[in-house]
């Protein structure tokens, strides 16, 4: 479809001769739309949630990724962000929220506590939220800075862009194909080992 502005007039018209053609696959288009309009369900329980709030504020501004709409309502959300440690008392709560979110849905585990229990190796604390819900992206750190969260968000968007999901229940394969997530620790090992000029903590 080519869209052009008619000369001297307002509005648009579709011109068969227009050079402004875009061709794509339907599932690529749907993945592009999904990955750039993620509606998040924040589940902030501790300090990591403050960094998540900073990500949403003006300096970092996750609205740039189409994610400005915090849902706070599981039925209108498609990405659950667990930011902070999860005590066992909250485990049924996060599971219920996850179950209430409609498909397709994804989750981000933000920070060491959410991913592994962090320093809280105690009987009260869930040792990784992946024992309660499936996790798509782990963001390491204690706490991760907003930049780290955004890298996790970009990884999720990339993963989403490569997913194959059925577009109809009558046509095509019905299974969901998900790419293997890359291990950023291994991918960045050389670059990190080579870094020998580090900024002072005052500059961070």
Under 8 Å CB-to-CB from 102, ≥6 apart: which residues?
75, 78
Q: Does 125 bind ligand SF4 (CB under 6 A)?
A: no
> Smallest distance from the beta carbon of 57 to ligand SF4, in angstroms?
17
* Residue 156, SS3 per DSSP: helix
Phi, psi of 186 (to 5 degrees): -75, -40
Give the one residue of 30, 46, 60, 181 binding ligand SF4; rule: CB under 6 A.
46
Q: Does 81 bind ligand SF4 (CB under 6 A)?
A: no
Give the one residue of 5, 63, 142, 176 binding ligand SF4; rule: CB under 6 A.
142
Q: Does 128 bind ligand SF4 (CB under 6 A)?
A: no
13 vs 3: CA distance, rounded Å: 6
- Per-residue binder mask for ligand SF4 (CB under 6 A), 145-184, x = binder: ----------------------------------------
| Beta-carbon count within 10 A of 183 CB | 9
Structure tokens that stand for 200 in this block: 């002072």
Beta strands 3-4 and 13-14 are antiparallel
139 vs 137: CA distance, rounded Å: 6
H helical segments located in the chain: 26-35, 48-56, 91-100, 112-116, 146-162, 184-187, 189-194
Give the one residue of 38, 48, 86, 139 binding ligand SF4; rule: CB under 6 A.
48
Q: Of the candidates 74, 80, 82, which has an alpha carbon nearest to the alpha carbon of residue 110?
A: 82
The stretch near ligand SF4 (CB under 6 A) out of 23-31, 36-44, 66-74, 111-119 is 111-119
Place of tokens 């506590």: 113
> Smallest distance from the beta carbon of 51 to ligand SF4, in angstroms?
7
Q: Does 70 bind ligand SF4 (CB under 6 A)?
A: no
Give whichever of 49 and 133 is closer to ligand SF4, judged by the CB atom.
49
**What residues numbered 19-38 form the site for ligand SF4, per CB under 6 A?**
none
Q: Which residues bind ligand SF4 (CB under 6 A)?
A: 46-48, 84-85, 111-113, 118, 142-143
């Amino acid at each position: 479809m080519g869209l052009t502005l008619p000369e001297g007039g307002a509005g648009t018209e579709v011109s068969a001769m227009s050079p402004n053609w875009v061709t794509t696959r339907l599932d690529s288009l749907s993945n592009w739309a999904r990955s750039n309009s993620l509606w998040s369900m924040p589940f902030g329980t501790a300090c990591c949630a403050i960094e998540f709030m900073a990500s949403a504020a003006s300096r970092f501004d996750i609205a740039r990724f189409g994610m400005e709409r915090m849902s706070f309502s599981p039925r209108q959300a498609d990405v659950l962000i667990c930011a902070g440690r999860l005590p066992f008392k909250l485990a049924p709560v996060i599971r219920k929220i996850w179950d209430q979110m409609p498909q397709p849905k994804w989750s981000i585990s933000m920070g060491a506590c959410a991913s592994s229990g962090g320093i809280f190796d105690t009987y009260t604390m869930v040792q990784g939220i992946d024992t309660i819900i499936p996790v798509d992206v782990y963001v390491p750190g204690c706490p991760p800075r907003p930049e780290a969260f955004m890298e996790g968000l970009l990884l999720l968007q990339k993963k989403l862009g490569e997913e194959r999901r059925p577009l109809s229940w009558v046509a095509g394969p019905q299974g969901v194909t998900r790419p293997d997530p890359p291990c950023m620790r291994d991918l960045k090992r050389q670059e990190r080992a080579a870094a020998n000029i580090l900024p002072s903590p005052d500059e961070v």
